[in-house]
């Protein structure tokens, strides 16, 4: 959008300079041939071109300073305030801005609007198996890893939600629907 404005300003400046040059030629020819009408027209054209150039420069400077002083300020991203972050029993739990994020066995679980109450987790592991019980507000999460496999059984509030894998992203909505990588999981 700024490009057409710049082009328009350049065309106007070129016309003003052209009028000034024509005025200069008329002035020189009028003086050389001793024709009063030519040098008077040349002088008038040069004066008008000079005034137009001065007004144009003043307008451009005004617009440049006015536009630059009213540019929108850069939007600064603010990080959410972290209320608490702690590591319990092989899990990391972070509470921030109305949600709790849990990292367990490489899976990220976000609980939106977890409800009142704190968060706690307990883990048991051994022999390639692990069981992680996480309570976040009014949501109970269970992640079980059996036989050292990468897939894990996953349940929310006692409802089985299928398998999850490391690098999966789970979202538990305020109405307790479970989305794994954006796909709804039926109990």
Question: If you ran DSSP here, which 8-state letter would residue 150 be given?
Answer: S
Residue 76 lies in a domain: no
What pLDDT does residue 153 have?
81
The answer on 95 and 62 residing in a single domain is no
- Asked if 156 contacts 112 with a C-beta cutoff of 8 angstroms, the reply is no
The answer on 95 and 65 residing in a single domain is no
What pLDDT does residue 181 have?
92
Q: Which of 45, 69, 93 is the last residue of a domain?
A: 69
CA dihedral 19, 20, 25, 26 (to 10 degrees): 70
The answer on 99 and 38 residing in a single domain is no
Q: For the whole model, what pTM was predicted? A: 0.52
The answer on 132 and 101 residing in a single domain is yes
Question: If you ran DSSP here, which 8-state letter would residue 40 be given?
Answer: H
Residue 20 lies in a domain: yes
Tens of pLDDT, residues 87-142 = 545 678 888 878 889 998 888 999 988 877 777 888 887 777 888 888 888 888 88
Tens of pLDDT, residues 27-78 = 899 899 988 998 899 899 889 988 988 888 887 777 766 655 554 444 444 4
Tens of pLDDT, residues 130-182 = 888 888 888 888 888 887 676 778 788 888 888 888 889 999 998 889 999 99
The answer on 103 and 178 residing in a single domain is yes
- The pair of structure tokens assigned to 64 is 């440049």
The answer on 97 and 147 residing in a single domain is yes
Q: What is 104-121 written as a DSSP string?
A: ETTEEEEEES--SS-EEE
In terms of residue numbers, what domain contains 145? 82-185
- Burial classification of residue 114, based on how many CB atoms lie within 10 Å of its CB (0-12 exposed, 13-18 middle, 19 or more buried): buried
């Amino acid at each position: 959008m700024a490009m057409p404005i710049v082009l328009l300003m350049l065309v106007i400046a070129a016309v003003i300079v052209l009028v000034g040059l024509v005025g200069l030629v008329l002035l020189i020819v009028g003086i050389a041939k001793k024709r009063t009408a030519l040098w008077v027209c040349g002088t008038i054209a040069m004066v008008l071109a000079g005034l137009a150039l001065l007004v144009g420069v003043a307008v451009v400077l005004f617009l440049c300073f006015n536009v630059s002083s009213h540019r929108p300020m850069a939007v600064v991203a603010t990080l959410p305030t972290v209320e608490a972050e702690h590591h319990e029993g092989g899990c990391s739990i972070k509470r921030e801005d109305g949600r709790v994020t849990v990292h367990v066995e490489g899976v990220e679980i976000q609980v939106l609007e977890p409800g009142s109450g704190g968060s706690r987790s307990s883990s048991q592991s051994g022999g390639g198996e692990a069981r992680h019980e996480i309570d976040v507000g009014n949501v109970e999460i269970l992640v079980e890893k059996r036989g050292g496999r990468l897939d894990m059984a996953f349940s929310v509030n006692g409802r089985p939600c299928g398998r999850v894998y490391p690098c999966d992203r789970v979202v538990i909505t305020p109405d307790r629907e479970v989305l794994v990588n954006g796909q709804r999981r039926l109990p």
